[in-house]
Chain A
Amino acid sequence: MKSALILFICCLSTVAFSQSKKKVQFVGGARSLISHMSMDPGAEDTVSRKKSTGGYALIDLGFKINPNAQTEILGMIRINNDFGGFWGGGVTFDVRQLYVRGVAGKIVRYQLGNIDYKLTPYTFYNNDFDLQMNSSGALRIKEDVNNYETFYSKNNTWRQQGAAIDFGLAFPKVVNEIKFNGFITRLNPTNFTNILERLYGGGNMIVKQSKYLTVGFNHVSIFDLKETAIGTPAYRNNVSTLTAQSALGKKKWRLKFNGETGFSTSGLVEDTSSLSDYFINASASFELKDLGLTASIGYMDNGADFRSFGAQSKRINYDNVNTIFDRYTNDQILRTTSLYDLYNDPNYYNQSISTGIAAYNPALNNVLPFGVATFNRKGIYSTVNYQDKKKYVNLDATYYRLSEVRGQGTTELKKFDFAKTKLDINVSNMFSWKKKQTVNVGWSYQATNRAPSPFGGISLTTQALQVGGEFELVEDLFLIANYSYFMSRGNELLAVRDGNDEIINFTEYNINAKEGYYAAGLRFNFSEDVYLSAFYEGNSNNDNEINPYALNQVMVFYVMKF
């Protein structure tokens, strides 16, 4: 038996760096931005500035050191210079990344320092930001910048500081292999008086029984270290889940089943009234390989008291406020956060996991504000994916029909509809053009309803459309253009919670907002990772019916990765 059990490294790519002969490499990126922005307040405004010009140049310089074939050390510093600063003025130096990783004993892979990590959508997962749709053109450039700034890799990982290990075992009988993953990170340090040291740790064990069945056990825990502060009760959020994937198929079709179920407990350690609940999410998909068509249907039931803050934390911090043109008109109206702001300001983005229910914007996402792990939701969902063999089009469509599990303030349950679609059209392939021509369309619709009652019903509708394209004019020079439209109308009753996340009141939320955006410009690709782009964009916002406003901006981006 001993000889039959084989320890192996889970991911071969992890040892790829060891194949490099260079002991020291330079990695990183550089970016420069020049922008000129103007605002039309739509009403008399003699007290606010209406134009803003600025820019910066930054370089992220990383030293990747391989002292031996099994170890890699990365240290990256950022030098940022706001335009207009000379001789050190406006220049900042920061440490952007620091990690050590390697393979111990040719068996266990480890990483210390910065780690990008995720487990499952119900345990540890960084959800896409609300209403993010098929970005293209100028929005795609901004989205890439925001993702880079916030260490978001489109892989739904969270950037944390801590340690992670993984290794695997292979077996000749009963099961094919077992993989183990573990991590521990620090969410916040103690202040030595009343804030306890808070850590986040967990891992999973993935058992691949055969090509037909894979089962995983996942556990994560946010926990305070007792006695690292005085007189402060310790907090715990434990989540344990079981995942299963099963597949069977033939040459022309494939049937897959996916599921995850588990439970959570959260609250103070000494408090016997801590919240606990469970969830189940199961789906079946059927793929017709010749047609490139996959359709699935699923059911989810997330308990009202299910809490998993590693999966329910939001990328956007809606408690943040605008830093540019924050007030307008002579009445100095506070400019609320618009969809446009979320593409323009990386400061809106969270880089940490927060315990407690995060603020959210019901106009942008009221159905699944905390991702698929959103508590108090149950119902069915369905997805369709179509990609033809010639790669003319790629279509993704998803629809959720959900309701609350438990009412809020009434036994009447809210009903939710959520549909979203992404469509990529490769015009070049359609017409066999050599130059790249792509069109991207995204559409999203959300509706929240609760039956009329003596106190009025709830009806909130949100719709967003995005159309864009990138058209190669001459070799490597692209015309980029996109248009998007967003509207939200209706009313909702938002829960007001106390420090223990218990609902203590409700506030009425009414909205009748429209937002339009367009952009057009050019982008020149020096190589796959280096480009220069200049574009003009306009945004009209009717969030406040009485005082609509408009923003216009010229931007020049230079982006390089090396």
Chain B
Amino acid sequence: MKNYLLVFFVGSILLTACRKDEVDQFDGPSLTDIYGDFNIFTPFAVSAPTVDFGAGETVHFTAEFSKSVDWEIKVTGQTSGAIKIISGFGSTIDMSSSNWIGDITEFPIFQVEICDVELSFLNEPDVFTEQVEITSPKTNDGFLVADFESGFLSGWSTFVQSGANMDFQIKSDNFSPEQSSYFNMAGEVDWDYLIGYVYFNASAYGAPHYPLSNNPDNEYFNFMLYGEPGLNNSIMLFQFTEDDNNDGNHNGTNEDMYSLEMLVDWEGWRLVSAKYSDIPCLVNGQPAAPNGNGVHDPDKITSINMLHLANPVTGFAQSKLDYMIFTQNGPLKP
């Protein structure tokens, strides 16, 4: 019996003594980081006074604080009004947390301009400012269908109903989210859904098909669309006609046509992106089986038909379109 007790006690003491020293350790973030006084150890700075995004350059911001905080950097273009917001939580801001490639958070897109940079904090009153100059805005890889900066291409075809207050034309003013021009679509047609259309034919770019890959999972169709405040009746329909039999033409009876349709029920500019393989075949707005081989073939697109529609009983409809571009491997990050 004595032996049992001895083993019991010695074992208990040994196990207790085995506990590794945890006096200097703690779980979770340091309370100093969360509740300590806030001070700037390293002042807020921009990594370069100028940046050429068009050449692939980037810029980042640096700062170091006495504790971890929720921080936010807001970059505002002085000319365009474009906004980029970078935010994070921590006690340092460095390249890994604040690298900027020239993209935006809110439309429009940055131009060649000077930008104001403001650093603020969620629970601290301090605000720090800097400036950075964009010598060339970011360029986007991909196939540009239209940005309306050079007017109508000769290969595009258009039709506009003879309704009231019709305004189907390229405009150049401060509304443009990218550079200076966009396509305005407005009018009232009380006998038909169709207000007007533009067919962006592949032939306008010198080939029977759009120069895209054959992988529909890698091709993303992007465009910027403006919803008019107070109006929510515009319907945008994009039709992608394919030449399944490679005869150079699209025949609706035995070849695929995929359609992207949306009600423009928002206000302001919005970027819309869709993976080509996700774009359905629609008949009268309802999903249907395609008439051709049933395979999304982006390399066989002959035309992108953009139709501006509205229910005839809803009256005047208006929307704006800009920067239609195909990107590869992901949606556009303007």
Quick check: A406 and B1 within 8 Å, CB to CB?
Answer: no
What is the distance, in angstroms, from B124's C-beta to the closest C-beta of chain A?
Answer: 16
Q: Please state if B24 and A261 are interface contacts (CB–CB under 8 Å).
A: no
Query: Does B191 touch A at the CB level, under 8 Å?
Result: no
Q: Nearest chain A CB to B90's CB is how many angstroms away?
A: 12
Closest to B34 in A: A506
Neighbouring B residues of A257 by C-beta, 8 Å: 5, 8
Q: A212-B4, A303-B19, A304-B22 are in contact. Are A280 and B12 (CB under 8 A)?
A: yes
CA gap between A213 and B1 in the complex, in Å: 8
* A503 x B8 contact (CB < 8 A): no
Q: Is A244 a contact partner of B8 (Cβ separation < 8 A)?
A: yes
Q: Is B29 an interface residue (CB 8 A)?
A: yes
Contact A409/B26 with A261-B15, A455-B35, A506-B31 known, Cβ cut-off 8 Å:
yes
Residues of B near A46 (CB, < 8 A) are none
Which residue, of B4, B5, B32, has the highest number of chain A Cβ atoms within 10 A?
B4
List A residues 292-351 near B (Cβ within 8 Å).
Answer: 299, 301, 303-304
| A156 in contact (CB, < 8 A) | no
Q: For A301, what are the chain B residues with a Cβ–Cβ distance below 8 Å?
A: 16, 19
With beta carbons under 8 angstroms apart, the residue of A244, A304, A505 that contacts B34 is A505
Interchain CB contact under 8 A, B29 and A505:
yes
- B69-100 interface bits toward A, Cβ cutoff 8 Å, 1 = contact, 0 = none: 00000000000000000000000000000000
Q: Is B161 an interface residue (CB 8 A)?
A: no
Asked if B173 is an interface residue, CB under 8 A from chain A, the answer is: no
Interface contact B25-A407, CB-CB below 8 Å? yes
Query: What residues of B have a CB within 8 angstroms of the CB of A455 in the complex?
Result: 31-32, 34-36
Q: Does B23 touch A at the CB level, under 8 Å?
A: yes
- Looking across the interface, which residue of chain B has its beta carbon closest to that of A493? B31
Asked whether, in the complex, the Cβ of A408 is within 8 Å of the Cβ of B12, the reply is no
Give the shortest distance, in Å, between B225 (CB) and chain A (any CB): 34
Q: Does B230 contact A (CB under 8 A)?
A: no
**A257 and B22 alpha carbons, distance in the complex (Å):** 29
Candidate in B18, B31, B32 with the most chain A CB atoms within 10 angstroms: B31
Among B4, B8, B18, B30, the residue within 8 A (CB) of A410 is B30
What is the minimal beta-carbon distance from B8 to any residue of chain A, in angstroms? 6
Q: Within 8 Å of chain A (Cβ to Cβ): is B28?
A: yes
Knowing A246-B4, A304-B22, A406-B22, the reply to whether A504 touches B12 (Cβ < 8 A) is: no
C-alpha spacing A111/B27, complex, angstroms: 43
Do A503 and B19 touch across chains, with their CB atoms under 8 A apart?
A: no
CB distance from B266 to the nearest CB of A (A): 32
Interchain CA distance A222-B15 in the complex, whole Å: 25
Chain B residues with CB under 8 A of A261: 11-12, 15
With contact pairs A409-B26, A506-B28 given, residues A246 and B19 touching in the complex (Cβ less than 8 Å): no
The answer to whether A407 touches B19, judged by C-beta atoms less than 8 angstroms apart, is no
Sorting the interface of chain A by its residue count into under 10, 10 to 19, 20 to 34 or 35 or more gives 20 to 34
B26 — which chain A residues lie within 8 A by C-beta?
406-411
Question: What chain A residues lie within 8 Å of B8 (beta carbons)?
Answer: 244, 246, 257, 259, 282
Contact with B along A254-288 (1 / 0, CB 8 A): 00010101000000000000000010101000000
Chain A nearest Cβ from B18, distance in angstroms? 8
Q: Are A409 and B12 in contact (CB under 8 A)?
A: no
Question: Please, how many angstroms separate the alpha-carbon atoms of A505 and B64 in the complex?
Answer: 20
Is A304's CB under 8 angstroms from B12's CB? no
Across-interface contacts of A456 in B (CB, < 8 A):
35
Partner of B15, one of A280, A409, A410: A280
Pick the contact of B27: A244, A280, A495 (CB < 8 A).
A495
- Taken together as a complex, chains A and B put the C-alpha atoms of A407 and B27 apart, in Å, by 6
Least distance between A240 CB and chain B CB atoms (Å): 14
A299 touches B22 (CB 8 A): no
The verdict on A503 contacting B4 (CB below 8 Å), with A299-B16, A303-B19, A304-B22 known, is: no
* Nearest-Cβ distance from residue A448 to partner chain B, whole angstroms: 16
Q: How far is the CB of A540 from chain B (nearest CB, A)?
A: 35
CB atoms of B36 and A409 under 8 A apart: no
Is B34 a contact of A409 with CB atoms below 8 Å? yes
Contacts of B25 in A (CB 8 A): 406-407, 411
Query: B19, A453: Cβ atoms under 8 Å?
Result: no
Task: Report whether A410 and B31 are in contact in the complex, using a CB–CB cutoff of 8 Å.
Answer: yes
Type the 1/0 row for A391-410, where 1 means its CB is closer than 8 Å to any CB of B.
Answer: 00000000000000111111
Whether the Cβ atoms of A259 and B12 lie closer than 8 Å is yes
Cα-based distance from A453 to B26 in the complex (angstroms) = 15
Give the distance in Å from the alpha carbon of A261 to the alpha carbon of B4 in the complex. Answer: 16
Contact A406 B29 (CB under 8 A): no
- B23: chain A residues at CB < 8 Å are 411
A499 interfacial contact with B, CB 8 Å: no
The one of A213, A406, A453 in contact with B31, judged by C-beta atoms closer than 8 angstroms, is A453
Q: Which residues does chain A contribute within 8 Å of B35, judged by CB atoms? A: 454-456
Instruction: Annotate B29-53 by CB proximity to A: 1 below 8 A, 0 otherwise.
Output: 1111011100000000000000000
Residue of B1, B29, B36 near A454 (CB, 8 A) is: B36
Q: Whole-angstrom distance between the alpha carbons of A407 and B32 in the complex?
A: 13
CA distance A280 to B23 in the complex (A): 19
- CA–CA, A411 to B28, complex, Å? 11
Contacts of A280 in B (CB 8 A): 12, 15-16
From known contacts A212-B1, A409-B26, infer whether A282 and B12 are also in contact, taking CB-CB under 8 Å. yes
B contact residues around A299 at 8 Å (CB): 12, 16
Asked whether A495 lies within 8 Å of B36 as measured between CB atoms, the reply is no
* Measured CA separation A495–B34 after assembly (Å): 13
A304, B27: Cβ atoms closer than 8 Å: yes
A5 within 8 Å of B (CB atoms): no
Is there a chain B Cβ closer than 8 Å to A43's Cβ?
Answer: no
Give A209's nearest chain B residue, CB to CB.
Answer: B4
Docked Cα-Cα span, A278 to B11, in Å, equals: 14
**Bound state CA distance, A454 and B12, in angstroms?**
38
A408-419 vs B, CB cutoff 8 Å, 1 = contact: the mask equals 111100000000
Cβ contact within 8 Å between B4 and A504: no
A244 to B9, CA, bound (A): 11
Shortest distance between the CB of A280 and any CB in chain B (Å): 5
- Contact between B4 and A213, CB atoms less than 8 A apart: yes
How far, in whole Å, are A301 and B34 apart by their CA atoms in the complex? 29
* Chain B CB within 8 A of A291 CB: no
Is A225 an interface residue when CB atoms closer than 8 A count as contact?
A: no
How far apart are the CA atoms of A299 and B19 in the complex, in Å?
14
- When the two chains form the complex, which single residue of B12, B15, B29, B32 contacts A278, counting CB atoms closer than 8 Å? B15
* A248 at the binding interface (Cβ < 8 Å): yes
Given A257-B8, A406-B22: A504 and B28 interface contact (C-beta under 8 Å):
yes
Complex Cα gap A454–B19 (Å): 29
Q: List 25 A-B contacts (CB under 8 A).
A: A246-B1, A246-B4, A259-B8, A261-B15, A278-B15, A280-B15, A280-B16, A299-B12, A301-B19, A303-B19, A405-B22, A406-B22, A409-B29, A409-B34, A410-B30, A411-B23, A411-B25, A411-B26, A454-B35, A503-B28, A504-B28, A505-B29, A505-B34, A506-B28, A506-B34
Q: Which positions in B face A, CB cutoff 8 Å?
A: 1, 4-5, 8, 11-12, 15-16, 18-19, 22-32, 34-36
Sorted nearest first, the 4 A-B pairs with minimum C-beta distance are A503-B28, A455-B35, A407-B26, A409-B31
- With A304-B22, A410-B30 known, 17 other A-B pairs at CB within 8 A are A212-B4, A246-B1, A248-B1, A257-B5, A278-B15, A299-B12, A303-B19, A408-B26, A409-B27, A409-B31, A411-B23, A411-B26, A495-B27, A503-B28, A503-B29, A504-B29, A506-B34
